[in-house]
Copies of this chain bind each other. A is one copy, B any other.
Amino acid sequence: MISFDEVCEIVSQEISKLDWNKTPNGLYAPIEYILSLGGKRLRPAMTLMACNLYTDNITQSIYSALGIEVFHNFTLLHDDIMDNADIRRGKPTVHIKWNNNTAILSGDVMQISSYQLMTETPAPYLKQSLDLFSRTAAEICEGQQFDVEFEKMNHVQADEYIEMIRLKTAVLIAAGLKIGAWIGGASDEDADLLYDFGINIGLAFQLKDDLLDVYGDEATFGKKIGGDILCNKKTFLLINAMNVAKDEDLALLNAWLENNNPTQSAEKIQAITSLFTKLKVDKICEEKMAYFYDKAVAKLDKLSVDTNKTQELRNLAQKLMSRKD
């Protein structure tokens, strides 16, 4: 089996080979820029790893894997406009470095590029891969729409939040795994199991992200801690805190949610973090994360391939749960 690190190296090399030196440069330069900012390359790596469970010839799934990654980065580009985000991976976002119109139009052509790559899926799997890719792409937009709508709602239920992150984060990981498995020659049963593995590990991954945003170490996390707290983002932590907080804890939480004074940012982060810890919502989140992680790994156990073949995916799943960034 090819290791996760080796697979990431292949993905990085292939991404750097994509040619964005096209006319008009103003349209294509932002694509090269956002792809150069890096990222974990988790989605394409998992696509290749799923393929590798069934064949040594993983190069046949490389374009599909790249299509998944380019689509993911396209969503970041448009989401950053909608979320008014200035910084992405420590660098100015595209709509800040250029402008909104450029971010819209370069994003559009980036989405087209993702389809161009996905259309290179080997012929026997082309139609089904494109159907799954499009359905997944639409679901990601639905997830983003729910995310935007949640920010204007007073109360969001925990299960509504889980459904939102399933759409916004988990389905693309799952679709990449399923497409990779198909290309490798997996049975439909195995492809479905890998899809379910992707959904559950994607949910656990996003909950870990919510935890890191509050409890992470700024130096290793790579972005400011407490960003979600400062914008009152209805994460799994905040939703649960609103549910379990009573009396003075609830009053204090609400007071801080209403306080958006920028000079008190540090105090707000500290106060809400302390409340989360006191209310044990960090534990609730960790338990939910462990629940999805266990469900994910159980799917791998059911695959028709030898257990040793799935070891790299198991290691990766483990690594994602204990990660610091």
Residues of the B chain whose Cβ atoms lie less than 8 Å from the Cβ of A149:
24, 26
A145 within 8 A of B: yes
A137 within 8 A of B: yes
Residues of the B chain whose Cβ atoms lie less than 8 Å from the Cβ of A141:
27, 105, 108-109, 112
Contact of A108 among B24, B111, B146 (CB under 8 A): B111
Q: A2 CA to B112 CA in the complex, in Å?
A: 33
Q: A131 CA to B130 CA in the complex, in Å?
A: 13
Contact of A130 among B81, B115, B135, B144 (CB under 8 A): B115
Contact A134:B119 (CB < 8 A) given known A27-B141, A145-B24: yes
> Distance (Å) between the CB of A206 and the closest chain B CB?
19
> Distance (Å) between the CB of A44 and the closest chain B CB?
19
Q: How many residues of A contact B (CB 8 A)?
A: 36
Contact A127:B126 (CB < 8 A) given known A27-B141, A141-B105, A148-B101: yes
Contact of A138 among B101, B112, B131, B148 (CB under 8 A): B112
> Distance (Å) between the CB of A182 and the closest chain B CB?
15
Contact A104:B126 (CB < 8 A) given known A131-B119, A134-B112, A146-B24: no
A78 within 8 A of B: yes
A123 within 8 A of B: yes
Q: A116 CA to B100 CA in the complex, in Å?
A: 27
A82 within 8 A of B: yes
Beyond A81-B101, A112-B134, A115-B130: 20 further Cβ-contacts under 8 Å?
A24-B142, A26-B145, A27-B142, A78-B105, A101-B148, A105-B141, A105-B144, A105-B145, A107-B108, A109-B142, A111-B112, A112-B138, A112-B141, A115-B115, A115-B134, A116-B135, A119-B130, A119-B131, A119-B134, A126-B126
- A interface residues with partner B (beta carbon < 8 Å): 23-24, 26-27, 78, 81-82, 100-101, 104-105, 107-109, 111-113, 115-116, 119, 123, 126-127, 130-131, 134-135, 137-138, 141-142, 144-146, 148-149
